[in-house]
Structures are given as structure tokens and as C-alpha cells.
Chains A and B, each alone.
Chain A
């Protein structure tokens, strides 16, 4: 694919086998001009990048080296943004130059497959927002909060360095290679590149991982809404609001998406405010006060119905609402953190950083911190988005760097902000909120006593503070509200009230945060169930062909029921787990997500090797090796560790032995039934870990074999099989980055001069 500069200004003579459409200006900036532009370092440019590097260095110094009483949150913003800028400007350029080698003379699927519906050239900046909204959800808001148990530094380093070297690399490469393949899915690429065994293992792993991820996201919602009448009311109201929006868009005013989103937003705000009023009345508090098991069952039934209802009625309108809230909330949170600049009292490394028995999640920093924070640093799930809608919308090949790499940097920034929000609250409150009831005892007195007994530096909490915080955010209790979402909501309320509204607004901000997290998660649950159902139907269809017909109702309903039952089972297991569901299940979520990343990177590794890029294979091999080592080690701990708090089977054996000895309570399980539940849950969790890790190892091995084969072929001079769509000449031009360069502007001007009937309509903002 080498597009060597030929020295002349005429791109038509570039030797890439593409014959440009005659009569049109160049569709790419001339290679040598672009090269010269990139390599030219003007004093202003040098000063700018020196300033960015310096500011980033100072910020990292403040976070990592200086050990004051407090650290200001603004340093998190500077450290992350400066590192992202440097990673984007330098590292992603290296990837572009040596691995992807985009060629703007080549048409993208949005051009050669254009249909005005699925394949549509989209302005790069719009697509950036669109892609970001599709990849960012509740994940980056939850993981960093839970990981804050270790102190702020381990999480901060992993989120920022991880995204630059791993997460963004994966997203960019999957997006690029999927685009070169007409927008093919990760599953299809795995089948092509890794063969039947690797492909099938990847497919089964993806399906299982989806189930786990949906279940644990649902668990986060259940934990946030349990015993919270206000939350149940306002989140419950999102369903009728979405239904109304769906009918509005279908029958009343089709296509008025912006209008209906605004109406929906106003209704949502009304639902949050109304929730406070309803929860304040006696009947409201009684009616909407639901325990976690009831909410879990509600969610399971909801999940089934939502997944078989037509998309227009519930999923599509809620998607609009969710995107609307997502962008708005994130911009607002960023502004608030920059304006308020809270002082952080959490230490860089907490007392639990060197231990493996933390109350929020168990296990040592390595490997468990790296699986607890998945989204925001490296998220395998993104590979499904980057090989889904986005590659079909890309206008020019060079834009994949902005959208794939840049989009993931944005998500990482969201994770950093979530971390800042979580650590801006008092550490005593943090532990009281995030430890399971079995430890805190569930009341403010016992929780305060337990937190103070931990011996954390500078932590001395009184029951009054816990009770007052609950009152401030409009909840009956904040003890043991694990799952990350409530903690983030308290942190966000804490920051936002200093920005807008004062303490009187805290309850609103708290429920606002719960609402948008629930909104993202419900959309993910619904969409995840649908995708999983299709995957299951296709798999069963290999044996019973009728199942391949997606419009066959009994098949669709049966497959949906199976998928909902699968995640519902895991959800109920988490909700009823005496050990506290998040504590035991969250690592499984992270492991699943990272294993998916390992699978995606394996596929990418094989593709890069087949293209003959061996010298720079390490760019893919590095994150792959890290993800593989982390997740396989974490899985092995979960399977083989003799420490009951860490190993599923060790815990299983401990509880089974206690039962055999005739004990009626053991550890945190106070009844025999609870002990039996632990035995059952740990067995299921243990086997899930085994299945995941075995499938992933199969995929990684097949990828390594494919890579070795590519290497042998290359040395023997045999061409590797190429699965890219054939190259076709492009007929459009658009700049690659956020801001057009001088050469791009010059070329763009030539295109603008072209008579309208000779050029395809520009996708630039209308």
C-alpha cells in the first residue's frame, strides 16, 4: 500500500493502482506537500508543543511526586489533556504512518457503497460526536469510582497511559480495518483472519461477554435504585417519556428529532423534580420504595419487553434522549470541574493499594485495578462499535485517526472526570457507600464505626455526617450503595452545587446523575439484548435454519427469552449475593471487557502482519500482550487463588466446608440459605471465568498462528490473502483533522470552485 511521494505536485502519478476520476481536482493532499507541512517546525509550533509538554509535566509532577495534604483537581485536567494531546499528535501519527497508511485517493465505504441510509458520508466533526456518543456510556463513569479504593494515582496513570498506548490504538485500528472491509463486523473479520476455530471462539466469547456486561450494568442500576423512591419514580418515568417520544416521531411529527429531544429533555427534568415531590409524600415513598430483588425482576421483565418491542417505540427515542443527555452532562461536568476546581484529600495511594482485601473490590493492584477500570482505558466493547455503524459513515480514510483515536481519548477524559468527582467526596463517605452491607451493617452508626475502624489516615466520620449527606441528596440512606453510580452522583452533586444552585440543589443534581446513568444503562441493556439475540439466532440457525429468519416471531421471542434469562440470572445472583454483588461480580465485568479487547487486538495483529508491517507490529503487540497478561492473570487468580476473597473456587470450598460442618452462618453469610447461595454463585462465576479465559486463549493462539504464517509467507515471498474491499477512486475531498491545514484549505478551495453538477454534494455541515 506504499504511497511513496513522487516529488511532483500531481497526485495522479502516485503508484497505488488507483486511477483518479478525470476532471476532478486531487482527492488527497499531495503526499510530499503534506509530508513537508508535517515536518516543518515553525518557532510558534515548537513553542506550543513545548508549553503543552511542560504543563503536562508539571501536572504529572503535582499528582505523582508532590505529597501535600491536598491536590487540586485542575491538575488531573492538565495532566490528562496534555498527555492526550501529545499522544494524539505524536503516537497516533506514528500508527498512521507505519500501520494504517491511509490513502485519501481511495473511496471509503460511505462513498462507494453510498445508499443514503446506512452508508452516508458524514462531516468528520459530526461523526466524532456521533462515535463518541456511541462508545461512551456508564462504563467510564463506574469503573474509576470503584477503583478509587486504591487511591487516585493508580487509576489516573492507568486511565491516561492506558488509553494512549492501548484503548485508543484498538479503537483506531479496528475502525480503520473495518472501514477497509466495507464496515464488516469484528466477528466477520475474526472468521476471515483467524479461521473457523478462532472465529467461532471469538463469536461465543463475544456473546457470553455481552451477557455479563449487560447483567453487571443492570446490577449498577438496581443498586442505585434500591430503596430509593425518588430514583425509582424518575427513572421509571423515562419509559412513558420515551414511549411518548416514539409515538410523536412516528405519527405526529416524523423526523423532528431535535424538537422531540428537547421536549423529552424538559419532561425528564420534570420527572426528576416531580420525583422529589412524589418521594416526599407518604404514599409515594411507600409505593416507590422497592427492594433490590423486586427492582431486578422489574428490570428483567422490562428487558424482555423492550427487546421485542419495535425499535421506533422505545429504543430509538431513548437513544436520542440518551445522546442528548450524554453530551450535555459531560460538557457541564467538565465546565464545573474547571470552574470549581475542588481540592482532593484522597491520598495518591490508599491503605488498600498494597493489599488484596479491599472492601470495594478485592484483589491486588495488579491485575485487578486494570480490570476494574476497563472503559476509559481499554474497552473491548468499543471494537463492536468501531466495526459497526461508524466505519460506514467515514468520509475520508485519514479521518479515522481523529474519530477512532480521538474519540477514545474523549472517553478517557470522561473517566478522569468521573474519578475526580468520586474522590472529591470525603473518604469516609466513600467507603461507607461502597462497602457491602455485610461490612457496614447498613445503619449510619454501624457504618461510621466500621469506617473508623479501618484505620484510614485522616478519616474520622460521624453518623451525623452520613445521615446529613443522605438528607442532602434526598435519599433515605447512602450506606452500602455500591456499584459506583450513587458515589459518582454524590460527587457530581457535590461539585455541581458549588457551580449552580448551592446545597439546596444537591438532591436535584444527585438524582440528575442517577437518571442519566440509568438512561445510558437501560439503552445498553435493551440494545445489548437485541444484538445478543441476533447472534444467538444466527448461531442456532446453523443447526435449525428457521432461526436464521429474524422476523420469525417464535424464534425471535425464544432467543430473546434465552438471552434475558442468561443476564437475568447473573443479575439476580449479584443482587442476592451475601458478599455484595459488585464486590464479586465487577472484576468479571472488567475481565470480560478486556478479554474482548484482547480478541479485537488479536484480529488486528493478524491483519497488520498480513499487510507485511512487521517492524511496527509491536504497536499492536504491546497492548495485546498487556491485555492478555492482565486478564489471564486476573482469571487465574479468580480460578486458582487460595484466598477466599479473591478465588471463586476457594470461596466455594470454604463455604461448602462450612455447610458440611453444619455451621449456620459463615463469614458475611448469616443464614444457611445465604451460604448455599454463595456456594452456587461462586461455582457459576468460577466456571464463567474458566470459559472466558479458555475461549480468549484460543483466539489469541489462532491470531499468533496467523501472524507467524503471515511472517513465513512474507519471507518466502508468497502473497497473503487480502480481505480488503477492492480500491476504488474517491470523488470527494475533505480535511483529515479537526482544523484543516493550509494545504487542505488550498485544495478545498479548488473543490469549491468546481461547478456544482460536477461534484458530489459536500458533507460539510449543511
Chain B
């Protein structure tokens, strides 16, 4: 049963990585690791910034 739960959790984590759902987590890790000189953006601000940057830097989707 534990193996099943672990397997499902691993799959969910993989899937959220593919979706890009873990972007904030990675941002925090980077912020932590890079010798920051200010507090990190809060989650809400990070996602705002995330989509707003896509506005000014669009990426194609394939056919």
C-alpha cells in the first residue's frame, strides 16, 4: 500500500513538474541558493510576474 501511495505521489510530482506547477518552489530554491539580498517574492507576486513575463516574451506552441 505504501509503495502504491509513493508511486502515485511520484507520478503526481512528475506531472506537476511537466505542467510547470513547481515553478515557485524552484524560484525559492534558487533564491535561497544564490546569496540573495532581499526577501523572495510571495507566491502571488511570483505567479503574476511569471505570466506577465510571458506577455512580453511569447513562446510558440507547436503544431
Contacts and interface: CB of A to CB of B under 8 A. Distances in A.
Q: Are A and B part of the same complex? A: yes
Question: For chain A, what secondary structure do more than half of its interface residues adopt (helix, strand, loop), or is it mixed?
Answer: helix
Contacts of B61: 134, 137, 319, 322, 520, 523-524, 527-528
Given A129-B17, A130-B18, A249-B47, A117 B53 contact: yes
A312 B16 contact: no
**Chain B interface category by residue count:** 35 or more
B17 A122 contact: yes
Interface stretch (A26-34, A383-391, A443-451, A636-644): A383-391
Contacts of B48: 250, 254, 312
B10 interface: yes
B37 interface: no
A520 B62 CA distance: 9
B30 A116 contact: yes
Contact of B46 (A135, A255, A382, A389): A255
B51 A116 contact: no
A765 B55 contact: no
A135 B61 CA distance: 7
A29 B18 CA distance: 27
Contact of A120 (B30, B32, B59, B63): B30
B12 to A, nearest CB: 7
A257 B20 contact: yes
Contact of A761 (B15, B29, B55): B29
B39 to A, nearest CB: 14
A516 to B, nearest CB: 14
B2 interface: no
Interface string B1-28: 0000000001011111111111111111
A615 interface: no
Given A126-B17, A327-B18, A385-B62, A765 B44 contact: no
Given A120-B30, A311-B55, A312-B52, A139 B63 contact: yes
A727 B50 CA distance: 29
A369 interface: no
A324 interface: yes
Highest count of chain A CB atoms <10 Å: which of B49, B54, B62: B62
B47 to A, nearest CB: 5
Contacts of B30: 114-116, 120, 761
Interface string A300-332: 000000000011100110011011100100000
Nearest to B31: A116
A133 interface: yes
B38 interface: no
A257 B58 contact: no
B33 A138 contact: no
A213 interface: yes
B46 A324 contact: no
Highest count of chain B CB atoms <10 Å: which of A375, A523, A534, A766: A766
Contacts of A593: 63
A594 to B, nearest CB: 12
Contacts of B12: 258
Contacts of A210: 60
A258 B62 CA distance: 22
A419 interface: no
A250 B26 CA distance: 19
Contacts of A382: 62
Interface in A194-219: 210, 213, 217
Given A120-B27, A524-B63, 8 more contacts: A115-B30, A123-B17, A257-B16, A320-B19, A327-B15, A527-B58, A528-B61, A534-B58
Interface of B: 10, 12-34, 43-44, 46-63
20 contacts: A120-B30, A122-B26, A125-B14, A129-B14, A134-B59, A139-B62, A254-B47, A257-B16, A311-B58, A375-B63, A385-B59, A388-B60, A520-B61, A523-B61, A524-B62, A527-B61, A531-B58, A761-B32, A765-B10, A766-B13
